[in-house]
Amino acid sequence: MANLTCKLGVLSRPDGSAMLCEDETTVLVGIYGPVEVKMQKIQIDKASVECHYRPKSGAPAVGDRLFESLIRNICEASLVASLYPRSAVLVTIQEMHNSGSLVSCAVNAACMACLNSGIDMKCMFAAVTCFLTKAEELTLTPPRNEKDIKALFVFVFDNNKGRIIASHTEGCFSQEQFEEAISLSKEESNNVFIFYKKTLLDEK
């Protein structure tokens, strides 16, 4: 299991915030909303969800837009957006340090920030990163050397039925390795949900 630590309410301006560390990867997330939305983005039946990612240094790259889209879609599927029509929920993500599990760390930090904000949610969500090494071994621990990674899998599960609500893969792998990575990640997601509940209880 990854070594997870989390601090809630670390920012004063957002409605909810969380700084989450997954091994040596650290991400800070703030949730604003529901807030007033620009006219061109207004939806009459539900809140619109916006996601903004800031890398540790420099400006966001093209790949970061995919990253933003992934997290926006996860939040949109998990929030009860219909309760907040004609408004917006803003998700801001600040990368602090990346040791290989940036996507799953950011997704999990976003879930904790949503829980901290008190916004209505259909479900919690947990992301797990699984690595396939060049030695054909699957591991949840990021290899020290990036060159040792043959493929990377990120799976996001809900806590209601353990369904996959999002996934992202990189590299070359077999169908068998893909299915094995899902199984390994799903088992690990249960530990993430336990961590969420423990963190929330400790905050009370």
Other residues' Cβ atoms within 10 Å of the Cβ of residue 145: 9
Whole-number pLDDT of residue 41: 73
> Which residue in the block uniquely carries the two structure tokens 């009860």?
80
Closest CA to 129 of 109, 98, 160, 102: 102
Q: What is the CA radius of gyration of the chain?
A: 17
Whole-number pLDDT of residue 30: 97
pLDDT in tens, the chain (204 residues): 678 999 999 999 999 999 999 989 999 999 998 888 777 677 777 888 999 999 988 877 887 888 899 999 999 899 998 888 888 899 999 999 998 899 999 999 999 999 999 999 999 999 999 999 999 999 999 888 888 999 999 999 999 999 999 999 999 999 999 999 999 999 999 999 999 999 999 876
Range of the domain at 104: 4-203
Whole-number pLDDT of residue 58: 82
Q: How many domains does the chain have?
A: 1
| Domain CATH for 120 | 3.30.230.70
Q: Residue 103 in contact with residue 196, Cβ under 8 Å?
A: no
Whole-number pLDDT of residue 204: 62
Whole-number pLDDT of residue 38: 75
Q: Residue 17 in contact with residue 9, Cβ under 8 Å?
A: yes
